[in-house]
Amino acid sequence: MTDGQKTSRRSQAWFGAQGRSGMLYRSWMRNQGLGHEVFDGRPVIGIATSASELAPCNAHLTRVAEAVKRGVWQAGGLPLQFPTMATGETLMRPTAMLYRNLMAMEVEELIRANPLDGVVLLSGCDKTTPAMLMGAASVDLPAVMVTGGPMLNGKYRGQDVGSGTHVWKFEEDLKTGRMTEEECFFAEGCMARSNGHCMTMGTASTMACMAEALGMQLPGSAAWPAVDARRMETAQAAGQRIVRMVEEELRPSRILTREAFENAIRVNAAIGGSTNAIIHLTAIAGRVGVDLRLRDFDDLVRAVPTLVNLMPSGKYLMEDFCYAGGLPAVIAELLRGGLLHGGQITVTGRTVAENTENAECLDSDVITSLDAPFQPAGTGTAVLRGNLCPDGAVIKQSAASPHLLTHRGPARVFDSPEAYHEVADDPELDIDENTVIVIRNAGPKGYPGMPEVSNVPLPAKLLKAGVKDMVRVCDGRMSGTGYGTVVLHVAPEAAVGGPLALVRDGDPVVLDVPNRTLRLDVDDAELTRRREAWRAPVERHTSGYTWLYTQNVEQADQGADFGFLRGCRGHEVPRDSH
């Protein structure tokens, strides 16, 4: 390494400083047993870990970080691990999504404020992956992601059970008396039997695949189970690779191009991924100035069949996906069909096409081919428009019932998910299978935080009568592990005066997914009258983070980021602390 290279390294503005300043920067670091020689201008690599016992999907990341560290040392870098916030899906109230932007802010500021040349991002649970990508993209120092990997397949009484997906099934079984409470306790343990994130193609697995499809994670890395030794190998390889990326100045802005997002959107369709990817990809794109529109998520996927047969849309789980060849096999197949931009650069320094040259599908039942796909093109996520959702809404067709994709039924409106839950088990409930259940005030500002509450369970009396699905319409989200004919992300949301706020019981709602429309069959004059009479709800939050959130969060179709966090602010810090 030449002296010129040493002094140009960002971290040398700290560790290479002369006099008292340099002493302050180095001396305290040496209390960790680091010798003077590690400050010689080698790349300083931050390892951002969202390990937390409160985010069980990320709890093992400290071990993954050790493997990354090994890789960084091997390649001649100096690894420095630091903790970030962790947004665990299962415990955080009112919803982990409320904190995605906070975590993204934290990641961004921590990277920028510290003497780092590059960063490895360790995530797992749903929101932690987009939060880290958003934060890192806004700093634009070389960055590589290592997701923590899925849990092993759930196993209950000889059958594979999927985390998330089977929670709904078990709940229905409990309600209808097919399962006792004791059996249910036992089943809980069967569902989550190893470290890792949800092993269905829920949001965590989807976002891990999105990180890989965008080119921000090493090929094959998304699918290795959390407890597979090869998870640690891929982490170590990422540690080695980030050191080279610093030398090559391979930054997120070179990787996260419009074409990379188009690749990710198509891969999401092919894997039958979560609807939440729409919001997260839009938010990440906003950080790098790529203008993704909701309609891109429909236009770009119409020619893409679902290739991957995983729960919640299919039958297999992430462990099977891994053994079948993982994401590289999917990408190779899409490339064969001319459905991806193969020339996109990735964290390997090589292109998408080069990365997957030798990728192979090892189980064509799990990863199907374009010639005989699991589900035909055009049956993935659809974006709807109409007078009920002027800025769009989303429905995951593969998780819906085909007979409900065109449906006309009377609305039964609930002003909150809680209002519905209060009456859902009432045997006298005035709802039949044709009713459209409308749940509002579950959007970004209204809830606040846009929780995963849209796929409310069906009324108990209808479940008992054998009804399996009904149309539900909501301005909230649905868990990536969920299913049902549920219209999501209705924008603008009710709390800001979107038309959802104007619906009344009995209004005919017309869903026509083949024609991509969601309409309220009420005439315009009447809707105008109702709009004039509408009053914005009183602001419940007047201070604290939740206030900041409700004041700044953008609508679902914009990615639900804070307006003031859009864009890349770079890594410069002009002033010293001493």
* Nearest CB to ligand FES, comparing residues 313 and 558: 313
In the complex, least distance from residue 163 CB atom to Mg ion, rounded to whole angstroms: 10
In the complex, least distance from residue 472 CB atom to ligand FES, rounded to whole angstroms: 21
Query: Residue 153: what residue type?
Result: N
| By the rule CB under 5 A, 275 interacts with Mg ion | no
In the complex, least distance from residue 352 CB atom to ligand FES, rounded to whole angstroms: 26
Q: How many residues bind Mg ion (CB under 5 A)?
A: 4
| Beta-carbon count within 10 A of 401 CB | 15
* Nearest CB to ligand FES, comparing residues 57 and 67: 57
- Tokens coding 403: 């007979």
The entry of ligand FES, Mg ion, none near residue 318 (CB within 5 to 8 angstroms by kind) is none
* Nearest CB to ligand FES, comparing residues 55 and 134: 55
Residues 193-212, interacting with Mg ion (CB under 5 A): 203
Instruction: List strand residue ranges (DSSP E) for 7-135, in order.
Output: 44-49, 78-83, 118-123
Give, in order, the Cα–Cα distances in Å from 203 to each of 65, 197, 276, 312, 379: 22, 10, 6, 11, 19
Give, in order, the Cα–Cα distances in Å from 288 to each of 247, 262, 282, 311, 568: 22, 14, 10, 32, 6
Element of type H or E holding 62: helix 61-74
d(CA 17, CA 21): 6
In the complex, least distance from residue 128 CB atom to ligand FES, rounded to whole angstroms: 8
Q: For tokens 């309600």, name the residue.
A: 175
Say if CB 95 and CB 445 are below 8 A apart: no
The entry of Mg ion, ligand FES, none near residue 198 (CB within 5 to 8 angstroms by kind) is ligand FES
In the complex, least distance from residue 127 CB atom to ligand FES, rounded to whole angstroms: 9
Q: Which residue, 379, 407, 375, 403, is CA-closest to 468? A: 403
In the complex, least distance from residue 55 CB atom to ligand FES, rounded to whole angstroms: 7
Instruction: List strand residue ranges (DSSP E) for 84-220, in order.
Output: 118-123, 143-147, 154-156, 159-161
Say if CB 146 and CB 221 are below 8 A apart: yes
Contact residue for Mg ion among 11, 84, 346, 479 (CB under 5 A): 479
In the complex, least distance from residue 200 CB atom to ligand FES, rounded to whole angstroms: 8
To the nearest 10°, report the CA torsion of 198, 200, 201, 204: 0
Q: Which residue, 443, 433, 396, 393, is CA-closest to 412? A: 433
| Beta-carbon count within 10 A of 210 CB | 33
The entry of Mg ion, ligand FES, none near residue 197 (CB within 5 to 8 angstroms by kind) is ligand FES
The entry of Mg ion, ligand FES, none near residue 268 (CB within 5 to 8 angstroms by kind) is none
Q: Which residue, 217, 56, 53, is CA-closest to 121? A: 217
In the complex, least distance from residue 57 CB atom to ligand FES, rounded to whole angstroms: 3
Q: Where on the chain is the footprint of ligand FES (CB under 6 A)?
A: 57, 89-90, 125-126, 163-164, 197-198, 202, 204
The entry of Mg ion, ligand FES, none near residue 282 (CB within 5 to 8 angstroms by kind) is none
Looking at 123-131, 303-311, 365-373, 399-407, which segment touches Mg ion (CB under 5 A)?
123-131
| Beta-carbon count within 10 A of 260 CB | 26
d(CA 434, CA 427): 17
To the nearest 10°, report the CA torsion of 356, 228, 202, 461: 140
* Nearest CB to ligand FES, comparing residues 125 and 141: 125
* Nearest CB to Mg ion, comparing residues 200 and 344: 200
* Nearest CB to ligand FES, comparing residues 198 and 324: 198
The entry of Mg ion, ligand FES, none near residue 361 (CB within 5 to 8 angstroms by kind) is none
The entry of ligand FES, Mg ion, none near residue 125 (CB within 5 to 8 angstroms by kind) is ligand FES
In the complex, least distance from residue 156 CB atom to ligand FES, rounded to whole angstroms: 17
* Nearest CB to Mg ion, comparing residues 203 and 441: 203
* Nearest CB to ligand FES, comparing residues 151 and 250: 151
* Nearest CB to ligand FES, comparing residues 89 and 117: 89
The site for Mg ion (CB under 5 A) is made up of 89, 126, 203, 479
